[in-house]
Structure 1
């Protein structure tokens, strides 16, 4: 009788806890959502002109096609922040391609201007610089970080796709 009561209690506990456990797993953002959050945080870091916030999103192994590493990229950004007192970005995430569980390739289109950008129609009047970033991300210590980047000028049509 005791075994039967223990078995019933176990079944009830699992039955009652299953929705709670399932609900918790649904609350975790997917890898793509985590990557999109990284992009938003990067946009905020640049707009607030915070070198440390930008560096926190870069892998210690960061290296780009121009030969910059994490430290040299931070110095370049510091110079850019000094010469541009007001930085406003409009970002649009293109493709997010997951490569296994800990690698991703992401295309991000960024419009950069000295005044707020509300829509692609503002690009011409604000003389926004349009850029395309192809990022390689890696998941390190349970967070996504930028491991490498390539960038080039983008066209207005890239933002309208």
Structure 2
């Protein structure tokens, strides 16, 4: 009787473990959604939580330079709205993701005299994310041409 109970308990544990974890693709998509929300909230700290310590962009800029850029962008744009589309998502390994995405950025310039002064831009990006513990963090970003 005890043996059947242990087998049953083991089966329940295995089934619940399989059902509770999201696929890496779902986790990456969730991380990108959270990054979008942090950017729209103009929250540099929350956004930087998704950036790896060894981050680099195509120009060799590091994490601190990205933080400075974001602070300036958020000051210049008092209202930010993003439209994101994941064009391609590859998982070359269990802890790495390559994402090609298009981001439409609409921000209001910090010009109080002209409330209709909108800045709009559509950019393609290629980003590489790495899983660190249970979090997906951007380790490389490249802005594409449009």
Q: Give the TM bin, normalised by the shorter chain.
A: 0.7 to 0.9
Q: Rg larger in 1 or in 2?
A: 1
2:122 matched residue in structure 1:
130
Shift of 1:23: 2.6
- 1:53-132 matches, cutoff 5 A: 53-114=46-107, 128-132=120-124
Q: Does 2:39 correspond to 1:46?
A: yes
Shift of 1:127: 6.7
1:122 matched residue in structure 2:
none
Shift of 1:10: 1.3
**Once superposed, which parts of structure 1, at least 4 consecutive aligned residues long, lie more than 2 Å away?**
none
Whether the 8 Å contact between 1:130 and 1:153 is mirrored in structure 2 is: no
1:37 matched residue in structure 2:
30
Distance 2:66 2:129 in 1: 16
Shift of 1:141: 2.2
Shift of 1:27: 1.6
TM-score, with normalisation over the residues of structure 2? 0.85
Q: Please report the RMSD computed on the Cα atoms of aligned residues, expressed in angstroms.
A: 1.8
Structure 1 gaps of 5+ residues are 1-7, 116-125, 155-161
Distance 1:12 1:52 in 2: 48
Distance 2:83 2:131 in 1: 25
- The answer to which structure has the higher helix fraction is 1
TM-score, with normalisation over the residues of structure 1? 0.78
Distance 1:66 1:149 in 2: 9
